[in-house]
Amino acid sequence: MATNPYTHQTRAQLYTAAQNRAAKLLDSPHSDTGHLLLALAAQLHTARMATRSPGGELKGAGTLLDAYADRLELLQRNARHEVLHDAADAVLGNRAERWLRPGYYEGSPYQRGIESDAGLREVLGELELLRKR
């Protein structure tokens, strides 16, 4: 059995590999696999963005807080995204996405859940009520 060459790659590397492989598969008899890879790559996209190093900003006049504040905010938002999707999938299964983003409106459970820790707690509370039904 062949060794999996992707086992030790970072999420950013997996994102790039999935995008590249999907591009090769979309116009082939394996286009369904290409679409699957694109969907997976979209889930990894925010992780890729969060891995960019702000260290270069340290060469300017900014402080460590200035250099890393945006990255910290993005990583926290990504963590809330992961928790929210995992919890919704556990409670709602294939209905999770429709519940999280019904029409992608302002104030949807998804938007409230990723905006802040308080918003995430609120949405998890709503999911808990659904779970107990």
Each residue's pLDDT tens digit, 87-103: 999 999 999 989 998 77
State the DSSP code for 64.
H
Rounded-to-integer distance, Cα 28 and Cα 25, Å: 5
- pTM for the predicted model, two decimal places: 0.61
Identify the burial level of 105 via C-beta atoms within 10 angstroms of its C-beta, where 0-12 means exposed, 13-18 middle and 19 or more buried: exposed
Do the Cβ atoms of 78 and 109 come closer than 8 Å? Answer: no
38-64 per-position pLDDT tens digit: 777 777 665 555 555 666 556 665 788
Residue found by looking up tokens 């918003």 in the block? 119
